[in-house]
Amino acid sequence: MSIHATPASWGQPLPEWLSLQDAAAFYGVSVDTLRRRIAAGKLRASRFGVRLIRVRVEDLDQLFRVIPTGDDPAGRRTSGNLRRTG
């Protein structure tokens, strides 16, 4: 079993594609949860070879959306979303 670093610890801009393990670690969900979302058609994924499955950061951002609170009726968040810069 290998240990995966989370994107935040890489010290680099977030890549466009993440492995299921890295995406699960970053969002605090299990790989099985991501696999269920892919199977249900709620999360797009691409296969890179026979066993490698990758998901786009932008698709993860759309899947894990912010829930509006009483303090912010529009549900907007100014920081914390995974957005690629540059």
Any idea what the CATH number is for the domain that residue 43 is in?
A: 1.10.10
Q: Please, which pLDDT band fits residue 40 given cuts at 50, 70 and 90?
A: very high
Whether 2 is in a domain gets the answer no
pLDDT, tens only, 54-83 = 999 999 988 888 888 887 656 555 555 555
Question: What sign has the CA pseudo-torsion 67, 63, 17, 21?
Answer: positive
Whether 77 is in a domain gets the answer no
Residue 24 has pLDDT above 90, yes or no: yes
Q: pTM for the full model?
A: 0.63
Q: Please, which pLDDT band fits residue 2 given cuts at 50, 70 and 90?
A: very low
38 pairs with which residues across the strands? none
Q: Please, which pLDDT band fits residue 1 given cuts at 50, 70 and 90?
A: very low
The pLDDT, as a whole number, for residue 82 is 57
What's the domain range around 49? 14-63
Phi, then psi, of 41 in degrees rounded to 5: 85, 10
Whether 56 is in a domain gets the answer yes
Whether 41 is in a domain gets the answer yes
Whether 85 is in a domain gets the answer no
Whether 76 is in a domain gets the answer no
Whether 21 is in a domain gets the answer yes
Q: How many domains is the chain built from?
A: 1
Whether 84 is in a domain gets the answer no
DSSP-assigned states of every residue in the chain = -PPPPPGGGG-SPPPSEEEHHHHHHHHT--HHHHHHHHHTTSS--EEETTTEEEEEHHHHHHHSPPPPBTTBTT---SS-S-----
